[in-house]
Amino acid sequence: MFNQLGVIGCGLMGGSFALAMKRAGLVRRVIGYSKSPSTTEQAKKLGVIDVAAESALLAVSGSDIVLIAVPVSATESTLKAIRHLVNPGVLFMDVGSTKCDVIEAARRALGERAASFVPCHPIAGKESGGVQHAEATLYEGRQVILTPQPFTNAQLVQRATDVWSALGATVLKMRPHNHDAAFAAVSHLPHLLAFAFFQAIAEQPAARDYLSLAGPGFRDFTRIAAGEPAVWRDILLTNKRDVLAQSKRFRAALDALEALIEAGDAAALEAALRPISEGRAAWSLSTPAVPPGRPTAK
Amino acid sequence: MFNQLGVIGCGLMGGSFALAMKRAGLVRRVIGYSKSPSTTEQAKKLGVIDVAAESALLAVSGSDIVLIAVPVSATESTLKAIRHLVNPGVLFMDVGSTKCDVIEAARRALGERAASFVPCHPIAGKESGGVQHAEATLYEGRQVILTPQPFTNAQLVQRATDVWSALGATVLKMRPHNHDAAFAAVSHLPHLLAFAFFQAIAEQPAARDYLSLAGPGFRDFTRIAAGEPAVWRDILLTNKRDVLAQSKRFRAALDALEALIEAGDAAALEAALRPISEGRAAWSLSTPAVPPGRPTAK
C-alpha cells in the first residue's frame, strides 16, 4: 500500500494507472500534474486524481510512488524539474515506448539519482488518447516491460514488478536495446505504415468517396494512425535507427510480393501468401508472456 | 420470399448469406455446393445449408436465387458450369471483391445470359474464413456495392437490392472501374501491406520473441494478414493495375515521413502526423452510406 501516487502527465496512460491503483486499493491518494492546466483540471473532475498539483515537483512532494507519463522527449526536462526529490525512498517509473533514450535522459537529468528510476513500458493503449478515455482495466492482462540498468536500485525494481503485477499485468525484463529493436518491429513501424497509408488515401482527389466505402478491415488496419502526434513524433525520432531498419525489411517484403503480382504468377503468389496467412492466424495476443530466447527473462 | 437458394461456395460469405436469408425468413430451403465435398458436408452438419448438391449445376437446378461465393478467379468456370440454367427467372449474384474482371468473366461464360447476373460486393468479412465462422449477422449494417451493367436485367437488379436491404445492408451502385479503384485503395492495398509487414517480421531471426511482445496495435494492424491466400491471390492479381498504383502513392507518403524522421525534424514530423491522426480519429465506419461525388448513387 502506497500513501500517495504522483502522476506527471494525466493522459490515457497516467490516468489509467491512477484509476487502476485506486481500484486495486494500492494507494491512499493521487496527486496529478499535467503541462496543460485544463488536463489536470479534467483529471480531477473525472475523479482520476484527487489533488491537482501546480508543478511536477509538487506532484512528487510527499509521494512514495511517481509515474511519469509524458511524451518521451519530455522525460529529461521532467526529471530535471523533480530531481531534488528523487531518492531511493520513492519509486519512480515511466511508461515510454522507447527505452534507450529514456535511460540516457535519466542519467543526464538525475546522475546517481537515476538509481531510483525504473524504466517501464506497458504494452497497452487505445484508439483514443486523453484522460477522458482512461480506464482502470487498461493494464489488465497486458505485458509490462522493465528495462532496469545495473545501477538501478534492485528493491525498487522489485517494487515496480509487484505494482504492475498487482494491476493484473505480466512483467518482463529486457535489455533496453533489445526492447527498442523489438518494438521498432512490432509497434513503431506499424504505426509509421498506418500513418503513411492513411495519408496516401487522404490526399487523393477521391478520398471522401473512398473513405465512405472503407470497411472493418480498413478500420482495424488504420486504428493506430489515430495515435497522438506528439507521442509518435518522439517515438519515431528517438528510435529512428531501428524503425528505419525495420522499414527496409518491410519494403523488401513488399517488393517481393509486388514482383509476383506484376508477373501475374498466381501459384507463387498463393505460395507466398499461405504461410503469412497461417502464421498470422496462429498468432494471438495470448502467446506465452515470457518470450523465449534473447530478451533477459525475469 | 424465395423458394430455394443455391449457394455455390459454402465458405464464410456464402454460408453467412444462407444463414441470413433463413433468419430473415426469405427462403424456404438452401441447397449448397462447394468444390471440396468436406466443406459441403460441414455446411450441412452446421445447418447452414439444408441439402448438399453434388455439382454447381445441381445447386442451381430448382433455385430461384443463386449466390456464387467462390474466389474471383473461379467465377468464369463456375458460371460456365451452370450456364444452361442461367435465365431471367432466377437471380444470380456473386460476392467478389473485384468487379471489372467478374463482369468480363460473366460475359465470356454467359454471353447474353449475363443479363441475369447481378455483380455484388458486400463489404463484410472476418478474421477467420470458413463455413464454421459463418454468421447470420455478417451483412447487417454493412454496405453492399452492386455494379450492374447496361445489359443487366433491371428487375433482377431491383430484386438484388431488395434482398440485401432485407438482410440489413445498405445497397450502393457504382461503376465497376470506380469500384475497383476505390477498393484497391481502401481494401486491397491494406491487405497487401499487412501481408508484407507480417512476412517481414516473421522472417527475422528474432521473430518468435518479437511476436510474443506484440500488443493490441499489432493485432489490429495485422488482422487482415490472415486473409485467405486463394481469395487474396485472385484479388491482387485481378486488380493488379489499381493495387500497384495505390502502392506507389503509399510509398511516396512513406518516403516523405521517413525523410522527416531521417532529418530529425520534430516540428515538421509532428505537423505531418497531426492531420493524419485527426483525420483517422474523425473517420468511422458509420460515415454516410451513400458516397457523394463520383460513384453512381443508387
Question: Quick one: average pLDDT of A262-271?
Answer: 98
At A201 the pLDDT is: 98
**Coil/strand/helix, residue A91:** strand
Question: Does the distance separating the beta carbons of B142 and A213 come in below 8 Å?
Answer: no
Query: What's the CA gap between A44 and A140, in Å, rounded?
Result: 23
| Burial letters B181-192, b for 16+ CB under 10 A, else e | bbbbbbbbbbbb
* C-alpha dist (Å) from residue B134 to A137, B11, B17, B285: 31, 7, 8, 21
At A125 the pLDDT is: 82
Q: 4-33 in B: which are within 8 Å (CB) of A?
A: none
**φ/ψ of residue B10, rounded to 5:** -95, 60
The dihedral of CA B77, B83, B85, B88: what is its sign?
positive
| ipTM higher than the 0.90 cut | no
* pLDDT tens digits for range B260-290: 999 999 999 999 999 999 999 999 885 444 4
**φ/ψ of residue B57, rounded to 5:** -60, -40
At B286 the pLDDT is: 57
Confirm if A36 and A98 have CB atoms less than 8 A apart.
no
Question: Does the distance separating the beta carbons of B220 and A220 come in below 8 Å?
Answer: yes
CA B38 and chain centroid, separation? 23
Question: Does the distance separating the beta carbons of B196 and A277 come in below 8 Å?
Answer: no
Beta bridge partners, B122, equal B144
Percentage of chain A exceeding pLDDT 70:
95
The CATH class of the B179-282 domain is mainly alpha
Q: Chain A: nearest CA to B214, how far in angstroms?
A: 6
Look up residue A195 and give its three cell numbers: 500513418
Beta bridge partners, B66, equal B6, B92
Confirm if A78 and A57 have CB atoms less than 8 A apart.
no
Interface contact A170, partner B, CB < 8 A: no
At B287 the pLDDT is: 42
By CA distance, what is B233's nearest residue in A?
A270
* pLDDT tens digits for range A129-147: 899 999 999 999 999 999 9
Asked if residue A292 has pLDDT above 60, the reply is no
Asked if residue B131 has pLDDT above 60, the reply is yes
Question: What are the residue boundaries of the structural domains of chain B, listed by start?
Answer: 2-174, 179-282
At A143 the pLDDT is: 95
Question: Does the distance separating the beta carbons of A250 and B197 come in below 8 Å?
Answer: yes
User: Which of B186, B257, B283 comes nearest A196 by C-beta?
Assistant: B257
Residue A226 with chain B: CB contacts under 8 Å: 277, 280-281
Question: Does the distance separating the beta carbons of A280 and B225 come in below 8 Å?
Answer: yes
Number of H helices, E strands in chain B: 13, 9
* pLDDT tens digits for range B63-87: 999 999 999 999 999 999 999 999 9
By CA distance, what is A277's nearest residue in B?
B226
Q: What letter does residue A150 receive in the DSSP assignment?
A: T
Question: Across the beta sheet with B120-122, what order do the strands follow?
Answer: B120-122, B143-146, B170-173
Longest dimension (CA), chain B: 68
**φ/ψ of residue B69, rounded to 5:** -125, 65
At A288 the pLDDT is: 41
Q: 208-227 in B: which are within 8 Å (CB) of A?
A: 208-227
Q: Chain B: nearest CA to A89, how far in angstroms?
A: 31
- Written as one letter, the residue type at B9 is G
* pLDDT tens digits for range A19-61: 999 999 999 999 999 999 999 999 999 999 999 999 999 999 9
User: Which of B210, B227, B290 comes nearest A182 by C-beta?
Assistant: B210
* pLDDT tens digits for range A231-265: 999 999 999 999 999 999 999 999 999 999 999 99
Residue B129 — very low, low, confident or very high, per pLDDT cuts 50/70/90? confident
User: B262 — alpha (psi -120 to 50), left (phi > 0) or beta?
Assistant: alpha
Interface contact A194, partner B, CB < 8 A: yes
User: Which of A73, A172, A190 comes nearest B218 by C-beta?
Assistant: A190
Interface contact A145, partner B, CB < 8 A: yes
User: Which of B198, B215, B240 comes nearest A279 by C-beta?
Assistant: B198
Residue A286 — very low, low, confident or very high, per pLDDT cuts 50/70/90? low
Q: Which CATH superfamily is domain B2-174 in?
A: NAD(P)-binding Rossmann-like Domain (3.40.50.720)
How open is the CA angle A110-A64-A7, to the nearest 5 degrees?
75
Interface contact B123, partner A, CB < 8 A: yes
| Rounded-to-10 torsion of CA A175, A178, A179, A181 | 160
Query: What's the CA gap between B39 and B262, in Å, rounded?
Result: 51
Interface contact B246, partner A, CB < 8 A: yes
Whole-number average pLDDT of chain A: 94
Asked if residue B291 has pLDDT above 80, the reply is no
Question: Quick one: average pLDDT of B179-194?
Answer: 97
At A168 the pLDDT is: 97
Whole-number average pLDDT of chain B: 94
| Rounded-to-10 torsion of CA A24, B218, B211, B129 | 110
Q: Chain B: nearest CA to A171, how far in angstroms?
A: 11
Secondary-structure percent of chain A, ordered helix, strand, coil, rounded to 5: 55, 10, 30
**φ/ψ of residue B30, rounded to 5:** -120, 130
Question: Quick one: average pLDDT of A65-74?
Answer: 96
How many other C-beta atoms are found inside a 10 Å radius of the C-beta of residue A264? 11
Query: What's the CA gap between A96 and A146, in Å, rounded?
Result: 11
Residue B237 with chain A: CB contacts under 8 Å: 261, 264, 266, 269
Residue A291 — very low, low, confident or very high, per pLDDT cuts 50/70/90? very low
**Coil/strand/helix, residue A89:** coil
Residue A212 — very low, low, confident or very high, per pLDDT cuts 50/70/90? very high
Residue B257 with chain A: CB contacts under 8 Å: 192, 195-196, 199
Query: Which among A132, A209, A285, A179 is positioned nearest to B218, based on CA atoms?
Result: A285
Question: Does the distance separating the beta carbons of B258 and A247 come in below 8 Å?
Answer: yes
